[in-house]
Structure 1
Amino acid sequence: MSYIVPQNTDLLLSEAQKEALYQQLVIQLEKDFLLANESLSLPEQLSPIALKLALHEKIYKLIQHKFAEYLNLLYIIDVSEAEIKKLDGSDLVELAEQVSFLILKREWQKVWFRNRY
């Protein structure tokens, strides 16, 4: 089975659940946030919707109040700089949502490949 890039957050999270890798995705997220010295303490049994909202809120706050830490987080997670530059930053709420998706997409790649190979 080849890797297919999910087109949005909801599809990505449902794919993670379908592949029984959702918990590993959450763990990977927490691990990388910790590496960036940003806590993302998520409860053990977190629904995909709650994860999506928690991540969106965290990214929004980082963009607004801790921009250097936000950039460091993107670097540690290894989010594509080219993809970030394509985003429209005029609406912070929308930007945070799009960045959250890019973060989840990159973390999903890591989890998916580690599980496969």
Structure 2
Amino acid sequence: MSLQHLPFFQNALPDRLDKLALMEQLIRQLEKDLRLEQLDPNLSTTLSLAPLSEWLKDYVQFQLENKSGDFFNALYTIDIEDRMLKIVLDSDRPYENLAQLILQRELYKVMMRQKFKSKEK
């Protein structure tokens, strides 16, 4: 999956440099909200969300199976709606779908931050 497949990303950032910066910001946002030390730096050097999405799916599965209380607190920090969480967890691919929902929400935060920063200048 590439960044362009996320609905709010299409045509948002036209050049490669901006997209690489966006990936780096997305990873920093994930690290912050999930309270992680540091994700694999190689995940931010590609325009593809596939490696990050796959890593996040595995992370979601581990957290739900082993540390669900802490993980649900992190989902609250990310601002995943309870209604959406229930839908995703009841789906046929809960880990993958929750990973996608997290990526979409985190990317939205990053893009909104960029949008408002550019308006301030």
The unaligned stretches of length 5 or more in structure 1 are 1-8
Structure with the bigger RCO (C-alpha within 8 Å, sep 6+) is 1
Aligned 1:1-117 pairs, distance under 5 A: 10=2, 11-12=5-6, 15=9, 19-20=18-19, 21-34=22-35, 39=36, 41-46=38-43, 47=46, 48-89=49-90, 91=92, 94-117=93-116
TM-score (norm. length: structure 1): 0.74
Q: What secondary structure, in the 3-state scheme, does the structure 2 residue paired with 1:87 have?
A: helix
TM-score (norm. length: structure 2): 0.72
The unaligned stretches of length 5 or more in structure 2 are 117-121
Checking the alignment, whether the CA contact within 8 Å between 2:89 and 2:98 is kept in structure 1 is no
Task: Show CA shifts across 1:7-49 (max 9, x none).
Answer: xx6413xx47865211111111111111xxxx36312221432
CA change 1:24–1:90 in 2 (3 A) is closer
Structure showing greater Rg = 2
Give the aligned CA root-mean-square deviation in angstroms: 2.2
Moved more, 39-48 or 24-33: 39-48
Percent of residue pairs identical: 31
Report the number of matched residues.
101
Shift of 1:52: 0.9
